[in-house]
Amino acid sequence: MVINGDGLTEMKKMGSESIDLVYLDPPFFTQCRQTLKDKNLNEHSFDDQWAGIEAYKSFMKERLSECQRILKKTGSIFLHCDRYASHHLRIILDEVFGARNFQSEIIWSYRRWSNAKKGLLNAHQVIFFYSKTDKFTFNPIYNGYSEATNIDQIFQKRKRDANGKTVYRTSELGNYELIEEKKGVPLSDVWEIPYLNPKARERVGYPTQKPILLLERIVEIASNPGDTILDPFCGSGTTLVAAKLLGRKYLGIDTSPDAVALSEKRLENPIRSDSTLLKKGRLAYSNQNTEILSLLNQIEAEPVQT
Ligand SMILES: C[S@@+](CC[C@H](N)C(=O)[O-])C[C@H]1O[C@@H](n2cnc3c(N)ncnc32)[C@H](O)[C@@H]1O
């Protein structure tokens, strides 16, 4: 469901502990009107101008408190922000959710090309991850080992030989044996996910539209199929599309009728632009076990240096 209205008013109508996951990508306190044109040159925009930081902080605190109330005990919140106000928002989150429920400061890092500004190029945004309690839902994701990692050493079972030296263990047929429980490297808090390029299929021309891949990752780690996900600043509906693609229920709220119309349209025909970079990474990981086994079985057994 997508509701056209103010996030605070709409959340106040919701029951306590009724939502499994909240993701919010509010205006960032850029003090300008965010505007963009789509492929048909229709303009989409939303306002991000405030009387001052205190006005912004109290706007955010009211909404974050309501998010806290409606989250289930197993729920979590992911707040997307950037350098303009992340330092203020972290303090508010500590006040509302409790510092003990802080889980991660996720850095979403992406490449950009610009030489317009003196100083360092801004190439990341921040997503604060807080849980409601320590019983929060969390589904770990594992990535492949980097090329520099000595995977043959990590993956092989070992044994002591007659001289007490550690050597790789082989089966009766002489093949190397893999340690099954090595799942890969747990996902870190630095996420390299490409920013939507101007030609991306999923781009609808809404200002500050986020990539579905980013939202899919959040939905995947912090909720289960059938769970209910809320985005109280849904914009063009990226969170809702990710939730739909992953079999979750979704609820989006936005004050802009244009954003609601875009979200509804996207939900009718969800499109995700796959990243070749990420696809390669996933493929490498899923093929890794098989590849490593065949590689290992081609080389000769050598004692492990201990
Ligand atoms: C940064 S954009 C969200 C972009 C979205 N994540 C996407 O991928 O398209 C912020 C949105 O918050 C909406 N907004 C601003 N104030 C709001 C309020 N009080 N309640 C609900 N939505 C609001 C704006 O209309 C805008 O669509």
Which pLDDT band holds residue 292 (cuts at 50, 70, 90)? very low
Which of 77-91, 175-189, 212-226 comes out lowest in average pLDDT?
Answer: 175-189
Residue in this structure with the two tokens 């076990």, named with its chain if needed: 289
Mutate to test the pocket of ligand 1, among 33, 35, 255, 258 (most ligand atoms within 8 A of CB): 255
Contact (CB, 8 A) for 21 and 240: no
Distance in Å, CA 177 to ligand 1 centroid: 53
Which of 23-27, 39-43, 52-56 comes out lowest in average pLDDT?
Answer: 39-43
| CB of 256 closer than 6 angstroms to any ligand 1 atom | yes
249-266 average pLDDT score: 98
Distance in Å, CA 62 to ligand 1 centroid: 16
Distance in Å, CA 271 to ligand 1 centroid: 20
Please give the Cα distance from 73 to 136 (Å, whole number).
7
Distances in Å between the Cα of 138 and the Cα atoms of 17, 174, 260 are: 18, 40, 30
268-295 average pLDDT score: 55
Torsion (CA) 188, 209, 120, 129 in degrees, nearest 10: -30
Distance in Å, CA 154 to ligand 1 centroid: 46
For residue 19, what are the β-bridge partners? 71
Given a cut of 90, whether residue 125 has pLDDT beyond it is yes
Distance in Å, CA 189 to ligand 1 centroid: 25
Q: Kindly report the protein residue whose alpha carbon is nearest to atom 8 of ligand 1.
A: 209
Residue in this structure with the two tokens 């991660």, named with its chain if needed: 104
pLDDT in the model for residue 305 = 30
| CB of 253 closer than 6 angstroms to any ligand 1 atom | yes
Tell me which range, 49-58, 106-115, 189-198, is most confidently predicted by mean pLDDT: 49-58
Which of 65-69, 132-136, 192-196, 213-217 comes out lowest in average pLDDT?
Answer: 192-196
Domains of the chain: 2-139+186-274 (3.40.50.150), 145-183+283-306 (no CATH)
pLDDT in the model for residue 288 = 45
| CB of 211 closer than 6 angstroms to any ligand 1 atom | no
| CB of 236 closer than 6 angstroms to any ligand 1 atom | yes
* pLDDT > 70 in the chain, percent: 84
Q: Which atom of ligand 1 is nearest to the CA of 236?
A: 9
3-17 average pLDDT score: 98
Q: Who has greater pLDDT, 188 or 159?
A: 188
The beta-carbon contacts of 296-302 under 8 Å, at least 24 apart in sequence, are 296/152, 296/155, 296/156, 296/175, 296/176, 296/178, 297/175, 297/176, 299/152, 301/167, 301/168, 301/170, 301/176, 302/168
| CB of 262 closer than 6 angstroms to any ligand 1 atom | no
Q: What integer best gives the mean pLDDT of the chain?
A: 87
Which pLDDT band holds residue 296 (cuts at 50, 70, 90)? very low
What strands lie across the sheet with 2-4, from one edge to the other? 2-4, 249-254, 228-231, 19-24, 71-81, 124-131, 102-109, 190-192
Given a cut of 70, whether residue 299 has pLDDT beyond it is no
Please give the Cα distance from 182 to 189 (Å, whole number).
20
Please give the Cα distance from 246 to 226 (Å, whole number).
9
Given a cut of 80, whether residue 20 has pLDDT beyond it is yes
| CB of 209 closer than 6 angstroms to any ligand 1 atom | yes
pLDDT in the model for residue 275 = 60
